[in-house]
Each structure stands twice: as C-alpha cells, then as structure tokens.
Structure 1
Amino acid sequence: MELRDYQTEARNAVFGEWEKGVQKTLLVLPTGCGKTIVFAKVAEECVRRGERVLILAHRGELLEQASDKIAKATGLKCAVEKAEETCMGSWYRITVGSVQTMMRETRLSRFAEGYFDTIIIDEAHHCLSESYQKVLEHFPGAHVLGVTATPDRGDMRNLGQYFESLAYEYTLPKAIRSGYLVPIRALTLPLKLDMTGVGVQAGDFRAADIGTALDPYLDRIAAEMRKYCMERKTVVFLPLVKTSQKFCQILNDSGFKAAEVNGGSADRAGILEGFEKGKYNVLCNSMLLTEGWDCPDVDCVIVLRPTKVRSLYSQMVGRGTRLAPGKDSLLVLDFLWHTERHELCHPASLICQDEEVARKMTENISAAGCPVDIEEAEKTASADVVAQREEALAKQLAEMRMRRKKLVDPLQFEMSIQAEDLSGYVPVFGWEMGPPTDRQKKTLEKLGILPDVIDNAGKAAKLLDRLDRRRAENLTTPKQIRFLEGRGFRHVGTWDFDSAKNLIDRIAANGWRTPAGISPQEYRPDTGQAAV
C-alpha cells in the first residue's frame, strides 16, 4: 500500500524520535487521515528489524480494525491477546491486545518484561488511565508510540505527563486543504439550552444531568433539523440511551427516517448496515459511535452531548469528515448552550490553537445565521483578534512607554512578525512549563526583547530560536522594530534588515525626523516610496 506524503513523513518521524533516544512519543492525525495505516507501517518496520510489537486498544472493534488494516497494508498477520486467545507460542510478531485483558495480573505475569520491543497505543488519549499504565510499566524497556486525533495542545498538555515528545502532527486544516478530508461548515442554531444545573464528573459534564437538561428542547431541535437535515445523512450524538431513543421517536414523528443504536441493541450490525445503505437518514446514538465506526457518506453531525473534552468532540465530528462520492462538505450543527463555564467545545475547537480566537470565532459563527466554512471563520476571527490585540497593545504601550524605552514587548514582536505560532503557544512537556532560565532572560534582553512577561522556558526557547532564524534570514531586529514602530511604521517585523537600516539612516540624516513624503502608516519598503 502506497502511503501519502504526510503518512510517510509521520512514519519516518516516529523512528527518528526513537533513534535519538526518545522512548515514548506521540503521533497526531485527524480522524479520517489513516492513523491505523501509519502505525501498521511502523509495526511492519519493527518486525523487519526482528522486534515484537504489541498494539493496545480499549475496544474490541479497534483491535479488529487494527488487525485487518495491518493485514491489508503489510500482509502481516496478528496474534490476539483477548479473553481465551493468546499470542504465547505464536509465530506472529505482532500482537493486538485488549487493555482490559492485558492488565490482569494472571495474564501480565506470563510475559517477561522484555517480551515486547515496541508498544503502539491506539486512541492514546486513554493511556493515562491506571489500566494502561499497569501494562506499560510491565514492559519498561519498550519503545512506545501513542496515536491520537486530539486536535490541539490543550488536550496534549495532559498527555505530556507520560509522552516525552510529539513526533509528528498533521492538522485538520492541512488535511482539508490537501483534499484528504471534506470542508466543514458550521451553523449555530438559535436555541438557548440551559446548562447551568449540569454537574461535572471526571473532568466532563455529567451525562445524566445533560439528559435531563436536554429533554425539554428535543421537539424544537427536531423542528430546526427539518430546515437543514432532511436531505442529509445525519449522525446525532446524545448523552443517554433513553434520550437517544426518545429523540429517535420524535424525529420519526417529524418525517425523518431515523434509527437508534446503543450497546444493548439486539441487531446493532443490521441497524448500522441499514443506515449505510440508505434505509435511514438519521442515526441516533448515546456516544457509541465515537470510535471504531466509519460511514464516509455521513454529511451532517449534530452534537447533543456537550463536552469540555476536545478529543471527544473531535471524534464525534470526525464521523463525518471522510471523503465520499458526491459529498462536498460536512455540516456541523451547533447550539447556544447557556452555561457559566467557558470551556465548552464548539466547532472552533476543531481548528483553533488560540482560545481567544476560538471564542471570537464561536461568536462570529453564532451571529452569521447561516452555515460558515470553519477555515474562513478562523481567518476572520484571527484578523478580528489581531485588530483587538493591536488596539489593546497601543494602549498598553502608551502606558508603559517610559519603562520599555530600550526593549520590545514580546507580544509586539510576535504581532509585528505575524507569528501566530508564538502568540498562541501553549507549553506541553515538563521542561517547557518551567520558568525561563537566567541565561534565556539575559540573552533575550541583550537581543532587545523584554523578558519580564515571558513565564515559561518553552516560550523563551521558541523566541530565541525565532531570533536566530531571523538573523540568518537577514530580517529586522527587535531594536529596529521598536524604533520604527515607535515612529508609526507598521509590521516592521516582516521587513528585511537592510530596508529597515536604510530607512533609519534616512531618519537619522534628517535630524531624527521622518522625511517629508513618507507616511509611516502607509509606508512599505517594497513600494519604493521616496522622500520628496
């Protein structure tokens, strides 16, 4: 099987991390981008090197998928470690194992600590649980690869407690732009669902409370769906089985061909097959279909199970991102959940690294009143936030001008060079979260950056790295940025060093006054604007 470019890069990056001494590394690919194929190829290479590989998952469907994909992608067969089945005595070098089975002491004690050379964890956001950790600790010398569709570093902050590095990340926007996933259009429906009485359990909203809060709105949600979903193939995620069953009946009474599926459904396979073949156009479920199920022609997803967990939200929406004939986009219906908490996931959570941009994007989508492409919405929200930050920065600079006479505020520097990766940076791994070292602060100040407001070593390291790269690329220095932007010139960080130097020399030669004929607000070095 021929890998896509990003899949080849991902596989090579994983081995690159292991070869430089990193034992536990992460791979992040959006749902629908072939993460199983990538780790199948990783497993194949490990076998070629004479290693034994264990693939761990928490659900039987994921194990079956992994085994099937490995066979199709590599031709290699897998042994199974689940229930009565075991890999002991098998010729196969790859084992797929259920964590519920592997964690049992009677099962785990059969294996020497060096039995597996490599462990691959599917849906790695589950791996911090006690059951996974018990298995991982039994094989202390194994290389570990965690694979997840977690969309941003907010969730990965927790994974950083175990994993030592991020080997490779392929983002949802890249996948959409490259044509590997369909564009996503988000629509906020004007229903204000009251969530103020919903409690929190294990870090997320309590499902039973959500079900109670949701019940009074089900008829109105069905009425809204009639406007947008009658001609679409829709999956609805709900908090409880009884809520899912009730909503399914309401949809059928409203003219939909709806079916409901749950863990206790007697004919689950038949229902899913009927949906795939068009017998039903809406499928309701109580969080059953978040992992291990694919139906590429799903073109509408409705999340009626509000969550604070981005990886869970991404999994739900990911049921509709795959390509299919005749499918041009995925419609995601969002709701005005009324809650005092601000960490609720929305379509913006799929694409935004910056929380401020995500909030603005959610606000803009809500005000639009029609489906909005989330990439376009993110660009608009980013521009809005930049404008707001520039306004706030202008006030801040006015108040602190005297103290910052000789140094550039990091935020001003980041905005001037238009570095969203710096302004939206969130530390992930342990060393990044510590305070900047004295050496980092001294070097930043020497290079013209005010270090006082940088609160972690990761951000300091990124700034220093960016300054080194800019020096190598002959771009403006922080001191040039400070001087020229202090005179009203804009985005000096995007200029080259020589253009800034020449302009400063002209200003100096003119008695430190801006030459006549130059408007700082309009001046661009590539326009060839000259003094009169």
Structure 2
Amino acid sequence: MENFIRSLKDSLHKGFIDHTKINQGKYPPKLLINNIEKNENVLGSLIEELEKCESFIFSVAFITESGLAALKSHLWDLRQKGIKGRLLTSTFLSFNQPKMFRELLKIENVEVRLTDMKGFHSKGYIFKHRTHYSLIVGSSNLTASALKVNYEWNVKLTSHKNGEFIHHFREQFEGVWAKSQVLTEQWIKKYEENYVPLINSKVIHQIKDPGISYAGNAIEDAMKIVPNKMQEAALEQIHQVRAQGQNKGLVISATGTGKTYLSAFDVRRFRPKRMLFIVHREQILTKAKEDYRKILGGVEEDFGLFSGTSRDQNTKYLFATIQSISRDNHLCRFEKDEFDYVLIDEVHKAGAESYKRVMEYFTPKFMMGMTATPERTDGFNIYELFDYNIAYEIRLQEALEEEMLCPFHYFGVTDFELDGQLIDDTAILSQLVTEERVQHIIDKVSYYGFSGDEVRGLIFCSRKAEAKELSKALNEKGFNTAALTGNDSQQVREQRVNQLESGSLDYIVTVDIFNEGIDIPSVNQVIMLRQTQSSIIFIQQLGRGLRKHQTKEFVTIIDFIGNYKNNYLIPTALSGDKSMNKDNTRRHTKDTSYIKGVSTVNFEEVAKKQIYKSINDSKLTSLKVLRDAYIELKNKLGRIPKLMDYITYHSIDPNVIINEYNSYYQFLLKIGEELPVLDKYESQVLSMLSIEFLNGKRRHEPLLLEQLVNQSSIHIKDYQQLLQKNNCIVDEATLKSIIRIFDLSFFTQSDQKKYGEKPIVITENQTYKLNTHMQSSLQENHYFKEYIEDVIQTALTFSKDYPSNEPLKLYGKYSRKDVCRVLNWENDEKGTMYGYKTKHGTCPVFVTYHKDEDVESSVAYEDEFISPEILKMFSKNSRTLNSAELQPIIYSEDNNVDIHVFVKKDDAEGRDFYYLGKAVVDRNSLEQTTIPTASGDRPIVKMNLLMEYPIKHNMYHYLTSK
C-alpha cells in the first residue's frame, strides 16, 4: 500500500503540478482519444480496466448494440470469474433502442437500472481494484463510434479508495441508482409500445458505390454518377497500366468493395465499341448488367445476356457466363477481336480449361481480371495470366478503414466441451450434434446476437452430414433453417437464398458452397462451426456478411474455436499478417487494435488459450508453409523473390526463413531452384550476415557492411560520422563490439567455425576493410554480391523498428546472444547467463514465467509478477545476502549497474524473451530463505525488482496467464 500511495503522489505531481518531474509514478492522469494512425482508442483503455478490476460501474446516457457488442466477450469472461458490475442509463432523447435494452438483459453479471432524470447525459466508467479506483470520464458514450473512431476527449484518473474525488463520483452514482428502475422484460415491452425516436439513432449503411439513387437510364443521368475516392485512385492506376502499353490488368479487391462498379467506371472511361463481361454464375450476371446500365446509361437494347436460354450476340455490352460462352460452338460465333474490352469476374477460377479457352481465343485491346482472392491453393499462377500487372489492390483492412464494408464484430468463442474435452479435429458426427452442443451453440448465438430486427444468418459446418443434422436439430428448437450442400442444384440454392432474404428462413446451414460467388447483403450473422483450414477460406466466409445493407448496422461473426491444430490461422487471417512469425501471431491474438473503424475482434479467454496452444504446437515454418509462401510471391512477381520482396509484399517474415535454413541461398537450394554456385566460404559468410544482422536489432553493422560492399574500405572517422548521421550510439564500447562481431572474436568456437573462422572485416591504419576473399568474391561473383546487398537492405529495413540511440527496445524480443551483442559484451555468453549475470555495468535478468513440469525443483525458481510494477525474483541456489555475486545487483544503483528484465511466457516461445525495461532492487524486500534440493535445503535470496515502467496491460495479462 505504501508503494501505491508513493507512486500515486508522484503521478499526480507530474500530471498536475510539474510535468518535468523525473519520477513519473505508475498512475499518471491520461487523456484518452481515438487515434487511428497509432491504433489507439478509448475502447482499449476500457477493456484494460475491465480485465483488471474487481467490480465496475458504468453511467452512460447513450448505448448502441454495436458499442455493447464490443464488450460482450470481455463481460462474459468476467462472469466466468464471478466479477459483476452495474450500469445506469436512461431513455433521454429516445436514443436507446428497445432491442439494445434486450441485449443488456442477456449480460447476467451486469445489473442495469434506468433513471428518468431529466437531461441525464453522463459518460463515466468506474473500476474498483484492490488498492484503488480507476475512473474514465469525458465525452464517450457506450457506442462503437465513440469508443473507436470519433474525436473524443476522456480523462483517465486513479484514486485511492479513501480519496474524496472518487467518493463524490460514487456518491452521485449511488444517489441516482437508488431512485432508478430495474431493467426488466416487462419494462422493455412497455417502452417498445411507446417508443418514438426523436432522433435517427439507427445507423443506416448505404452502399458507397454511386448509382443507386438514379432510377432513369439516360446517359446524362449515368454521367452524374461519379466514382468515390478509392475508385478514383483505382481508375488512375488502371489508366497507368494502359499508358505503359500493357493490354492486361488484374484488380484485387476485397469482397463487398464494389469491383463491378469500379470496372463499369473504367469501361465508361475506355469507351469500347463492344465489351464482354464474363462471370461464373447466372445469378451474378443479371445484377452485373443492371449495375453497368446505371453507370453507362444508354438504351436497354445495348445490354445483352449470353447464358441459359438467352443468346444475345450483337449487343454493345454483352454479359456472359463462362459455361455458355466457352463452348466451341458458341465461341466460333464471335471474331477474335470482336470485343475491345473483356472483363473476367472471379478470375481466380481461370485455371479451369473453360477460362483458358476463352482467354486464349479473344484478343481485346484490354482485358481486366477481378478477384478478391488471387492466392490459389493449387499453385496456379493468376498473375502470369495478366502479365504480372496488378492494376489495383485493396484488401480487407484497407477497405474497413475506408468504410467501404459493413463493420463487423468478430467473436472467437469456446466450443462445446464433452467430458471435459473440447471438440477437436477427430470429433465424430454424433458429438457435433448432441443435444448439449446444439444448446451450447444456441446460447452463444443468442448472447452475441445480431444487428437488425430479424436474423439472417449463414452457418458454416465441416461436413455435409453435420449440416443436415444440425439444421434438423435447430428446426426442432424453433428456428427456421435449411441445409444446403454441393449436392443441391443451382435452382435450390437460389430458392434458399431468396427465402433467407425474405425472412422465411433464419439460417442457411452449409459447408463450403457459399465461400464466394454469392451476394446476400442482408446477412447479419455468420456462424463458423468448423476448424479453419485456410486463411483464404476464412476471409471468404467472413466476407459473406460484409456487404452494406439498410437493415443492419454491423454483422456479427461467431467462430466456435475447439481444440484444432490450425487455430493459429485465425489471427493470421484477421490481421492479414502472413509473416508466419509466431510472435506476431501471438501479438495479433492478444492485441486486436489492428482492426480499423468501428469493427472489433474479440476472443473469449478459453478460446484465446486454444489459439496460443495451436501457435506453440504448430510448425508455422515447415518447408511446405515456406515453399507455398515462396511460390505465391514468385507467381506474383514473375521471378525469384528477394528477401526484401517478402517485406514489400507483406509475405512471410524473412527471419523465419533464415532461422530455419541459415541463409536464403540455402533455402532456395532446398526447394529445388537451380542457382549459380557459391563457394564454401561465400556460403558461410552469407549465413553469418543473415543470422546475425538480418533481424535489424542493431543498425550499426549493416550500415558498415553497406559501405564496405560499395567501396571496400572506410575510415573510422567517416564511419563514426555515418553513425551520427543515422542517430546511432557512437562510443568506444559500441565500436569495439562491432569489430568483435566482424572479426568473429565475439562468437563461440562452434559459431566461428560455422562462419568461416577468419575475420570478415579487418582494421588497418584507422580504416575498416573487407578481407581479400570477400573483396574478390564481390568483384567476381555478382550473385554473391546481390545476396549480400539483399541482406543489408532487409536488415536496414527491419532496423527501423528498433531505436538506434538506445541499445534495447521496450517489448522487443531478444535472445541471450542478442543481449550480449547489443549490450556490448566482449563475448557471446549465452551458455552461462541463465537467470542473471552481471558484466560491463549491466545485469540482464532472464525469466521463463511458466516452467515445464519436469524442471528440477532446485532450479524451478518461482519468479513472478506481484503487479505490473513489481517482479519477485529469486537468486540462484546456494546464495546468501552476502554472496559476492549478488552485491552488484542488490546495490545496482550505487554501483551504476543497469538491471535489464527479459521475460518469456514459456519455453514454447523459443529462444527469445520480451524486454520489459530496467529495474532496481527494493532493498526492503530482501529476504534470505531456502529451497529444497536433492542434497537438502540450500540457501537462496528473494527480492523484489521495481520496474522502471509498469508492464502494459496486454503484455502483463499474456505473460502471467497460465
């Protein structure tokens, strides 16, 4: 408690009296705003406090379903922990809708009351903790816009439980609460009967693509319809492709972003004498023709269909299905140059013979392909078909940011447990449709809800038999559902879709047939009851609900996460991060702020643990995964990619490849590429530079190497100036460390042998230069030089993520060898620095938070966080308070020793630890105790480390949770 009060006083002094005060404390007053560029928002702070609190109080005037949805999974987790809260709201201005009140009733651990106080307009959130209260108060109501995107001002303050400030807030709340009415279903029914909104509190989303408000088809009306900002940018890029003399272009655009309208605008600009538009399904054809007519104008006779029984052949704008036009007896009706402009929708299907036949037959002035998913699981190269001309690309994250799609709330929820075991890959059909699992599904679906008056949902299953049985079970529970599989005809599919849109069906239960090529804009709930096998299919299924529609404000995605080996693909797909870097994947699971706009990604705690388990257990860097990523990128580029290409095109993390194969050259050989030969020493040097420098954790080495590759030597003073220019640390210890890296003396003997044994860089007459073998190789083997230059540029790119004027990055990840290097130790001492080690004025402390069960008790030290500010640490055994080894640590401040704390969750994370900052020993906590060993009790010292900065919530929660 004394530490808390001291820290709170420091925080208040710095926040309200003197901002220059050095000791800032752990509880600074903070302005909370929504900053899209920094991925910061009010919602994040709200969730952080919820996850730490013992109870909570909300007093908010306005609440929307979307705002409530953003908190539902977190409130569910609190319910599992027995944590309750109270919420006070009102009917002020009739903003709050009756359906929202029903959603509140579903949250059993939140007691809700309503005040009839005139002008009730409060916006406050109070959280009770063990030692204190946190308060967020300001302009944000409980709406998704206010919590994520609007320009809002809120202040977060901390108060001791006896503070007068928090006492006034609680007193105000309790006074109104005591006079307020309890929310009940009866109250909602009465409210609903008299509900007349005085303001339009319901957000109606219109499709952003223009052309909807014009009923006429005259050309002058069509010309009034103009592209939106994103379409303007796309049209300009497509124009540039043609201006460069190219006659093909590929448009990659997320589902629901208006590819058809975009292509129609380009046709209007191109002004072809005749145009052919090809799709793979007839139901899409008619809609495309209607959309084109809105944009192009003209008479009905200008627009024709070539599909089914329609055989229009001479219209200016012809819309055809691939099944019809690809037949030989139909193709021959047209001249090869019949059409100036040919468009192919869903062009990722173009590997089929029917598409090849059509594309090889016609010779238009320009051919455009359109797809949301150019990546193929069969290895077919879509990019090659279009001469590697990507005319325009917009993926899910960008489309959300530009508000081109309907916002979504994704919930990764826990699947059903049978006899204490979660549903897994081996579950048989009888386990998937038990009475208990069906009820579990209904409970979850009801809790997380949907936007709009009636549910229009899609349920994706893993098997046809499951779809049929589940549909039957749901119908017995009072739902109106229909199973739809690949066995059903196109006519039956269209009938079911019409029934869903009209409201006569609540759900269509299907397997994979709706992954793409189906447009049901009114879908407001997507339920995933199958393991994620591919990121592509995941996004396709999620995308079924992303089209905007006037009946919904958002779409709810409910993903039932069982014990599936591929769960790691979920954060990969949602974030769009293809790096296959386990740390990135973990980060995207625990921190979902990457989702733009008012959309949110939420995981129930148990479901989140299943994803972590999948990440730990899976081989994300298997040869197949790496080869697939390589082929995908090679297809996109039309050449062997460089390491830098993986960064530029947001593909796999190059470090993942190096960690597995030592160098990119070795990886290329492994997957069968025929390459010019490197000699043994060249290969060894390339491995050394890749392994040690590619991650960019210190900028100094690649900067020196870049100079030496270009000019073979550089004077030490010139190099120092270069470092200063790049804002790098320039001191004797760092310069000495750099040379020990390049002359290999830093490394262990086994590493020196691995890296070629002789110094790569030598120093003569105050000048750095490459050894003669290196100079000769760079001059005579330009392939070797290209590999080296690629490593340098990639390393310099990664180095931008690390501070150049500080040795370590807060929350960066470092191996023990990395730490030795960046802290300027003379040698790699990773083999002898377990736990902690003091040297060169530094003391790195390494903690594996959750030890394996088979670790011997004599070394299984119970290091743990007491709070985000305090780490309880144990010395090695057989140490006392007087041990010489501990004196520099205990008196670190007096001895100018910097204690650096590194923590990893468990050994499944690999060799790297998170850097959590500096710390000092709380000498009042020092205690000599004992630890049991095989040879009896041994002395050990226990102490608390006070962190320079409190560990941020997401990291603390991730590391400490079991």
TM-score, reference length from structure 2: 0.38
Deviations 1:163-187 (A, max 9, x none): 3221111121112122222134231
Written as runs of structure 1 = structure 2, the 5 A alignment for 1:379-458 is 426-429=633-636, 431-433=638-640, 453=664
CA contact (8 A) 1:244 1:284 kept: yes
C-alpha distance in structure 2 between counterparts of 1:509 and 1:241, whole Å: 67
**Equivalent position amino acid for 1:103 in 2:** S
Q: How far is the alpha carbon of 1:114 from its aligned partner?
A: 1.2
CA contact (8 A) 1:53 1:116 kept: yes
SS of residue matched to 1:43: helix
Q: How does 1:182-261 map to 2 (within 5 A)?
A: 182-191=407-416, 192-195=422-425, 213-214=428-429, 216-219=431-434, 220-230=436-446, 231-232=449-450, 233=455, 234-238=457-461, 242-261=465-484
Alpha carbons of structure 1 residues 270 and 504: separation in structure 2 relative to 1, 3 Å: closer
Equivalent residue number for residue 113 of structure 1: 336
2:525 equivalent to 1:336: no
Q: Which residue matches 1:169?
A: 393
2:547 aligns with 322
Partner Cα separation in structure 1 for residue 311 and residue 350 of structure 2:
22
Give the 3 Å change call, closer, same or farther, for CA 503–186 of structure 1 in structure 2. Answer: same
Q: Give the C-alpha shift of residue 25 in structure 1.
A: 2.1
Q: Secondary structure in 1 aligned to 2:468?
A: helix
* Structure 1 pair 44–522 and aligned structure 2 pair: CA distance change class (3 A): closer
Mapped to 2, the partners of 1:195 and 1:106 lie a distance apart of 47
Counterpart for residue 21 of structure 1: 245
Distance of aligned partners of 1:353 and 1:504 in 2 relative to their CA distance in 1, 3 Å threshold: closer
Q: Which amino acid aligns with 2:664?
A: V
SS at match of 1:25: strand
Paired with 1:312 and 1:187, the residues of 2 have a C-alpha distance of: 16
What is the alpha-carbon distance in structure 1 between the residues aligned to residue 600 and residue 536 of structure 2? 21
Residue among 336, 341, 352 paired with 2:576: 352
Residue aligning to 1:125: 348
Q: 1-side partners of 2:483 and 2:722: how far apart?
A: 66
More strand by share: 2
- Is the aligned partner of 1:70 residue 2:296? no
Query: 2:307: which partner in 1?
Result: 82
Contact persistence 1:193–1:337 (CA under 8 A) = yes
Return 125-134 or 154-163, whichever deviates more.
Answer: 154-163
- Tell me the equivalent position of 1:61: 283
C-alpha separation in 1, matches of 2:258 and 2:391: 16
Q: Does structure 1 conserve the Cα–Cα contact (< 8 Å) formed by 2:529 and 2:559? A: no
Structure 1 residue 75, shift from structure 2 partner = 1.9
RMSD: 4.6
Which digits, 9 at most, give the CA deviation of each residue in 1:151-203, with x for residues without a partner? Answer: 7698997322423221111121112122222134231433544446xxxxxxx
- Paired residues of 1:14 and 1:25 also in contact (CA < 8 A): yes
> Number of aligned pairs?
414
1:373 aligns with: 600
How far residue 237 of structure 1 moved from its aligned partner, in angstroms, is 2.3
Cα shift at 1:477: 8.3
C-alpha separation in 2, matches of 1:429 and 1:109: 33
Shift in CA distance, 366/241, structure 1 to aligned 2, threshold 3 Å: farther
Residue aligned with 2:320, SS: strand
- 1:376–1:40 Cα change, 3 Å: farther
Q: Is the 8 A contact 2:348 2:375 kept in 1?
A: no
8 Å contact from structure 1 (residues 480, 500) kept in 2 = no
From the superposition, tell whether residues 123 and 221 of structure 1 become closer, same or farther in structure 2 (CA, over 3 Å): farther
CA shift in 2, pair 1:330/1:28, >3 Å: farther
Aligned residue among 497, 500, 510 for 1:275: 500
Structure with bigger RCO (C-alpha 8 Å, 6+ apart) = 1
Alignment of 1:95-106 (within 5 A): 95-106=318-329
What SS class does the counterpart of residue 580 from structure 2 fall into?
Answer: helix
Code of the residue aligned with 1:29 in structure 2: it is S
Q: What do residues 478-510 of structure 1 show as CA deviations (whole Å, max 9, x unaligned)?
A: 744889xxxxxxxxxxxxx97733866953699
2:383 is aligned, of 160, 168, 174, to: 160
Greater gyration radius? 2
Match of 2:173 in 1: none
The Cα of 1:331 is off from its aligned counterpart by 1.9
Q: 1:335–1:268: structure 2 CA closer, same or farther, 3 Å change rule? A: same
Give the conservation status (yes or no) of the 8 Å contact 2:306–2:318: yes
- Paired-residue identity, %: 21
User: What is the CA deviation profile of residues 425-477 of structure 1, one whole-angstrom value per residue up to 9, with x for unaligned ones?
Assistant: 944335332679xxxxxxxxxxxxx99636789xxxxxxxxxxxxxxxxxx88
Q: How has the CA–CA distance of structure 1 residues 504 and 126 changed in structure 2, closer, same or farther, with 3 Å as cutoff?
A: closer
Task: Measure, in 2, the Cα distance between the counterparts of 1:365 and 1:254.
Answer: 34
Partner letter of residue 474 of structure 2? L
Q: Distance in 2 between matches of 1:344 and 1:137?
A: 40
Greater percentage in helix = 1
